[in-house]
Amino acid sequence: MTKVIDGINISQNLKDNLKKEISFLQSKHNKVPGLAVVQVGDVAASSVYVKAKTKSALEVGIEVIDHHLNSETNQNDLIKLIYKLNHQQNVNGILVQLPLPDHINEQVILDSIDPEKDADGFHPLNVGKLSISSKNDENLLLPCTPFGCLLMLKELNVNLEGKNAVIVGRSNIVGKPMAQLLLKESCTVTIAHSKTTELKKLCMSADILVAAIGKPEFIKGDWIKKNAIVIDVGINRVQKEINGELKNKLVGDIDFEEVKIKASAVTPVPGGVGPMTIACLLKNTTTSFKKNLLK
């Protein structure tokens, strides 16, 4: 029987452990981690994500310093705010909610964050540390979504060594760091993308398939090797007919109903990777806080 990997439960366990750790550190040092959340503009999806991240942070005992800027904020003013947060003692993690308005260069903004306060794990210095480290070190600030995917795989208690892993998607946020994390688990890793030839055949060879292509229900059941583990990173809003009515529904990059027939384990959407991303953001903030206590 196919196991549906419960990201809500796994993330809650991680948050419960963080809450206990933060409570202990507060009793010992009279301080708690601080997370600065910077949002520019009022994109509806961004507001939903920020609200969920803020709620989870407060639940585990992290102080949230909120900066909601209007959409006309220019790049220089945003950088000035980030530099201020870089030097603010009560800020251990900085999260700049993406996407940013078109007139702001996202990479310039991400590069301006102090790498030791890089809650998302996107700074080039942290990306470089991930690339050259010999093993997966949880003391590094790791990109949250790939890190969450890895933790879900670990929950299965499956030996990852030697497994053939295929990642569909080559983004800097998911595809590339996911490959690095799986390489350190001694998987044989292939990154596929829009120019890959015979993509279906390649997916059928995967013991572990990570779908991060951004196309709703793109990967079908007959693309899956029997008993493969499938991690669906996609979040797509589509219209579907339900009981004769067209309704909005969140779906992933895989056809869940088809894939779960073939896979040994699969993540759902929603309730899979999404909650893990938030939990790993909180873990990064706590990791940065602990490092700062040792200074």
Contact between residue 11 and residue 275 where contact means Cβ atoms under 8 Å apart: yes
Reply yes or no on whether 53 is catalytic: yes
CA gap 278, 240 in Å, rounded: 27
Q: What angle do CA 284, 287, 290 make, to 5 degrees?
A: 155
Instruction: Establish whether the linkage from the previous residue to 146 is cis, with ω within 30° of 0.
Output: no
CA gap 18, 60 in Å, rounded: 6
Reply yes or no on whether 176 is catalytic: no
- Which position among 39, 97, 184, 207 bears the catalytic label? 97
For 70, the token pair is 């209007």
- Which position among 53, 117, 225, 283 bears the catalytic label? 53
Reply yes or no on whether 247 is catalytic: no
Torsion of CA 8, 285, 59, 54, to 10 degrees: -90
The burial of 270, by beta-carbon neighbours within 10 Å (0-12 exposed, 13-18 middle, 19 or more buried), is given as middle
- Which position among 15, 39, 118, 120 bears the catalytic label? 120
> Which residues make Cβ contacts (< 8 Å) with residue 257, sequence separation at least 6?
221
Q: Which positions are annotated as active-site residues?
A: 53, 97, 120
